[in-house]
Chains A and B, each alone.
Chain A
């Protein structure tokens, strides 16, 4: 009887351990998958920072272009930013806007991350939002200044996990751009927005 009980206890412990290990493993795997696009983006940012003195703007742009195109869900970002205006655009205009928006994002990264003095990114934690959407929290640690909080909203779609928004020190880039672009469209129209974006991209190029 005692042997049977002991056997039952051992089996229960074994099954429980296996079950919880699987759960833990699944959770770790999911966290790694969520952080994957963020880690890739960060690696590219650190590279363009380290290369700031040795490589040209265009070379650093090419490196960032791959990271942004691969790891951001640009069509969704563009659609959310243009909000109610998106539907009124022809497919070609939507596509042109996405392309222009990507160019602005890449140019901004290359312009801002233009020096290196030992900075690094630190992954903090993930937080579930709605359904297949998570917030991946990170910190940009600087040597002589306070760290900057960089949080990413990451969503799992047909193409895997992709970044759909960047929140720097609490300021959501998506909301900021939507308010900004909406004001221009409201006042001057969509064509004026396109012209302004082209001008911004041009301003960011080295003179």
Chain B
């Protein structure tokens, strides 16, 4: 490890630790608010608004230009390249979650795409039965029973549990060890490509959402649950929103509610 990397590493660890501690304290202070997963909402909203403004005037127009300029196969190859660079983190988390078979398949996937797929530019593994998996340290902690913690909005939605993924995903990404002038343009390309891939999702959100902040938070937290359960979250978990109702089908004035949890209880 070079001096430059030794400089980057403590900064990364300190940032993650501070954020986790900071939000951990906030969670404790607000723990009496049942069901509140966003104790930092005022601060999160400020960051969200700043990021949205920056996105609207700078990042989104660049991403749109990028989509208009580059043909789909080129953009697909760029996405494949960055996905492949980050795949060692997926492999690590496969094994940490006890998914041995998936871990071995993902090692093969990484090897095939890095060699036959020319440094990951082409996904030659999916067509032969080795699909792209999405695993990270936040999901690993969830499978180990760690609570999601507080919701956080930095430059993207996350939680105090999910932000810990920054450490292994950065350290296991070969890009982290790159030197010199190439670092900045590749970082910029990665950011623009990521934003370009989210254009459709943010368009749907902007069309549907009345309050974009709440919509983004809810969608993120639900999507994380979906990923943690590998696309098969238990159906019974969706019962919670209906409360403990025996005649939930009736409508009219016969309703009550649990003010603390915000759940609808229908008498």
Contacts and interface: CB of A to CB of B under 8 A. Distances in A.
Interface of A: 73, 75-76, 79-80, 83-84, 86-87, 91, 94, 108, 111, 127-131, 133, 135, 149, 151, 153, 155, 157-158, 164-165, 167, 169-172, 174-176, 178-184, 187, 193, 196-197, 200, 203-204
In terms of DSSP, what is the predominant structure of the interface of chain A? Answer: helix
A176 B222 contact: yes
Contacts of A76: 248-249, 251
Contacts, number: 110
A200 B211 CA distance: 12
B233 interface: yes
A183 B231 CA distance: 28
B176 interface: no
A86 B265 CA distance: 11
A69 to B, nearest CB: 15
| Closest 6 pairs (CB-CB, A-B) | A170-B226, A157-B249, A183-B211, A75-B251, A183-B214, A135-B235
A104 B77 CA distance: 38
Given A170-B225, A183-B210, 11 more contacts: A79-B266, A80-B264, A83-B263, A83-B264, A84-B264, A91-B252, A131-B246, A155-B248, A167-B238, A171-B222, A171-B223
A86 B255 contact: yes
A83 B238 contact: no
B209 interface: yes
A76 B249 CA distance: 6
B241 A169 contact: no
A155 B246 CA distance: 12
A86 B209 contact: no
Contacts of B226: 169-171
Nearest to B229: A170
B219 A79 contact: no
Interface string B73-111: 000000000000000000000000000000000000000
Nearest to B212: A180
A100 B208 CA distance: 14
B210 A135 contact: no
Contacts of B222: 170-172, 175-176
B262 interface: yes
Interface string B200-234: 00000001111101110111001101110001010
Contacts of B264: 79-80, 83-84, 86
Contact of A155 (B227, B249, B262, B263): B249
Given A79-B251, A108-B208, A180-B209, A170 B233 contact: yes
Contacts of A187: 211
A164 B235 CA distance: 14
A79 B214 CA distance: 19
A182 B214 contact: yes
29 contacts: A73-B249, A76-B249, A79-B255, A79-B264, A83-B262, A84-B259, A86-B264, A87-B253, A87-B256, A91-B253, A133-B239, A133-B242, A169-B226, A170-B225, A170-B226, A170-B233, A172-B238, A174-B241, A175-B241, A176-B218, A176-B222, A178-B241, A179-B218, A180-B210, A180-B214, A187-B211, A196-B210, A200-B207, A200-B210
A189 to B, nearest CB: 13
A87 B257 contact: yes
B2 interface: no
A193 B239 CA distance: 26
Contact of A179 (B217, B233, B249, B253): B217
A184 B210 contact: yes
A148 to B, nearest CB: 11
Nearest to A197: B210
A11 B256 CA distance: 55
Given A79-B264, A130-B236, A135-B235, A179 B215 contact: yes
Contacts of B211: 180, 183-184, 187
A97 B237 CA distance: 27
A84 B233 CA distance: 27
A196 B210 CA distance: 7
A152 to B, nearest CB: 11
Contacts of A73: 249
Contact of B235 (A75, A83, A129, A200): A129
B150 to A, nearest CB: 16
A131 B242 CA distance: 12
